[in-house]
Amino acid sequence: MLLSISTTHQPATDLGYLLAKHPQRCQQFPLGFGQAQVWYPQADVDRCEAMLYVDVDPVDLVRGKGDAEGALSQYVNDRPYAASSFLSVAIARVYASALGGDCKGRPELAQQALPLVAEIPVLRSRGGADWVHRCFGPLGHEVETSALPLDATFPEWGDSAYLRLRLSGTMRLASLLQHLYVLLPAIDGDRHHYIGDDEVDKLVAKASEWLPGHPERDWIVSRYLKRRRSLVRAALARLTESDETELEESEAAREAPEQTLERPLSLNEQRLQLVAETLRASCAQSVVDLGCGEGRLLARLLDERRYQRLLGVDVSLLALERAAERLKLDRLPPLLRARIDLKQGSLTYRDARLAGFDAACAVEVIEHLEAERLLAFETAVFAHARPALVLVTTPNAEYNARFETLPAGRFRHPDHRFEWTRAEFHAWADGVAARHGYAWEWAAIGAPDDALGPPTQMAAFRR
Ligand code: SAH
């Protein structure tokens, strides 16, 4: 397995400092499953390239496992040639300081974004080139892949599950190494070494800066942790800890120090309260929660006997799994259980399951949709499902200036695709109401700022 990292930063030989490997020497490192070597095919002022070669010993891997079934595949396999979790382990072992963002004696170098190219001649991707692009692309890499034929002498046999990968971009070396460390095993999808509980810590340490907002976050975490559900859940919870609720709660606590005895209700709590009150006042008996997430609203509604039918819909299976746990779905008494259901689905497609409810809620959901999919959401909800009441909440972007920990121009959550001012929300709601024959009312959620308005806003559409 080979990983080449090169730069044209001037002087390019700075790469030697960054990797903590002398460009004039070839060095060897023993690994549990073979050995690694590092050498520099080129080390000039204009361009410098470091090669990491990992030699996996398949016999070493099998030895001591005790399952002497004699299966030849234990020895004859692609392990020595295809980049995989072994390459990750080698990166962590051989380039440890660079991966951690350290550079002895030249700390400023490690913080600098440099033009970097990484090349892996043979990479196994079960999901093909598509997943390689989806994993690396959103992180600012230019991704080039070329398929490798199954057998070069017989091109008619088609392509293999292997490809050549070239990544180029301007970023910190630590970022590039972290991306490779986490994404290579996820893409390979077949981690050979044991996944221990400390694997979550390793993942969070290497990915907390860039994975929370990654569009394929759940897929990556699930594959990285070999689909071990409890670990996947733990990792996702920690990676998304800094989500909007926390930001809002910590800010709410800071804003009212005099009230610390009687801690103000968190914004999330106020939001759910207003939605629940509005539903109650409407006398709705059936509610669909669109983008129900972990089921916070549903848990509250399930406590009220007035609701005969509750449905939570979300695109994320993981969110639904957590919702099922929060609602204790598998332990509910049958009569209660019959009143609630969770379904996976996307809100940007017409879906017959969303029809026939008195009310629909989309609490902090629309800002997670691509702006160009918003019309599809509008059609699915207001043209097809058409409940008598639709409640939509979304952040008020103007209020972001009050969040001291939020840099200007940034969204409250990395997964937000947009955040609207009050005027923008009004304009959208006016359009929706006019197009689909609804009347609507605006409401504030959270204590408003005189100039900026409230932290969050709600539109209640009635037909
Ligand atoms: N309403 C919940 C969750 C808000 S977070 C609450 O207030 O706690 C936004 C949710 O929308 C996430 O759970 C996300 O998975 C879901 N979501 C994003 N895009 C979606 C889509 N196209 N279809 C369905 N759900 C979607």
Average pLDDT over residues 364-378: 92
Residue of minimum CA distance from atom 18 in ligand 1: 368
How would you list the strands of the sheet with 48-56, edge to edge?
A: 27-31, 34-43, 48-56, 2-7, 114-124, 159-171, 142-149
What percent of the chain is modeled with pLDDT above 70? Answer: 85
Does 363 sit in the ligand 1 pocket, CB within 6 Å?
yes
Instruction: Report the amino acid identity of residue 77.
Output: N
- The whole-number pLDDT of residue 242 equals 45
The atom number, within ligand 1, closest to the CA of 346 reads 23
Helix (H) or strand (E) holding 272: helix 267-282
Q: Which residue has the higher pLDDT, 445 or 150?
A: 445
pLDDT at residue 358 is higher than 60: yes
The average confidence (pLDDT) of the chain is 86
Domain for residue 429, yes or no? yes
> 118: CA distance to ligand 1 center in Å?
35
Domain for residue 245, yes or no? no
* Same domain flag for 271 and 382: yes
Range of the domain at 320: 262-462
Helix, strand, or coil (residue 321): helix
- The whole-number pLDDT of residue 241 equals 64
Instruction: From 167, 193, 219, give the residue that closes a domain.
Output: 193
pLDDT at residue 211 is higher than 60: yes
Cα–Cα distance, 251 to 414 (Å, whole number): 18
* Same domain flag for 175 and 307: no
> 284: CA distance to ligand 1 center in Å?
22
Confidence of residue 286 (pLDDT cuts 50, 70, 90): very high
Q: How far is CA 195 from the centre of its chain?
A: 20
Asked if residue 62 lies in contact with residue 74, where contact means CB atoms within 8 angstroms, the answer is: yes
pLDDT at residue 62 is higher than 80: no
Average pLDDT over residues 148-165: 74
> 130: CA distance to ligand 1 center in Å?
25
Does 296 sit in the ligand 1 pocket, CB within 6 Å?
yes
Does 292 sit in the ligand 1 pocket, CB within 6 Å?
yes
Domain for residue 76, yes or no? yes
- The whole-number pLDDT of residue 407 equals 79
- The whole-number pLDDT of residue 197 equals 67
Average pLDDT over residues 279-297: 96
CATH of the domain at 391: 3.40.50.150
Cα–Cα distance, 178 to 151 (Å, whole number): 32
Average pLDDT over residues 123-132: 86
Domain for residue 224, yes or no? no
Burial of 154 (0-12, 13-18, 19+ CB in 10 A): exposed
Domain for residue 348, yes or no? yes
Phi and psi dihedrals of 43, rounded to 5? -145, 70
Contacts 24+ apart (CB under 8 A), 239-247: 239/203, 239/204, 239/207, 239/208, 239/211, 239/212, 240/212, 242/212, 243/413, 244/364, 244/395, 244/412, 244/413, 247/403, 247/405, 247/406, 247/412, 247/413
Considering the entire predicted model, what is its pTM? 0.53
pLDDT at residue 69 is higher than 50: no
The atom number, within ligand 1, closest to the CA of 369 reads 19
Instruction: From 193, 213, 248, give the residue that closes a domain.
Output: 193
Overall domain count for the chain: 2
Helix, strand, or coil (residue 297): helix
423-449: pLDDT as tens digits:
999 999 999 999 999 999 999 999 899
> 291: CA distance to ligand 1 center in Å?
3
* Same domain flag for 267 and 174: no
Helix, strand, or coil (residue 14): helix
* Same domain flag for 187 and 325: no
pLDDT at residue 397 is higher than 70: yes
Average pLDDT over residues 346-352: 90
Does 314 sit in the ligand 1 pocket, CB within 6 Å?
yes
pLDDT at residue 294 is higher than 80: yes
Q: Which residue has the higher pLDDT, 197 or 21?
A: 21
The atom number, within ligand 1, closest to the CA of 272 reads 7
Residue of minimum CA distance from atom 23 in ligand 1: 346
Does 346 sit in the ligand 1 pocket, CB within 6 Å?
yes
Residue of minimum CA distance from atom 13 in ligand 1: 293
Length of the chain: 463
Q: Which residue has the higher pLDDT, 373 or 380?
A: 380
385-396: pLDDT as tens digits:
999 999 999 999
Helix (H) or strand (E) holding 119: strand 114-124
Phi and psi dihedrals of 130, rounded to 5? -55, -50
Instruction: From 193, 220, 246, give the residue that closes a domain.
Output: 193
**Cβ neighbours around 246 below 10 Å, total:** 14
Mutate to test the pocket of ligand 1, among 315, 321, 344, 390 (most ligand atoms within 8 A of CB): 315
Phi and psi dihedrals of 460, rounded to 5? -110, 110
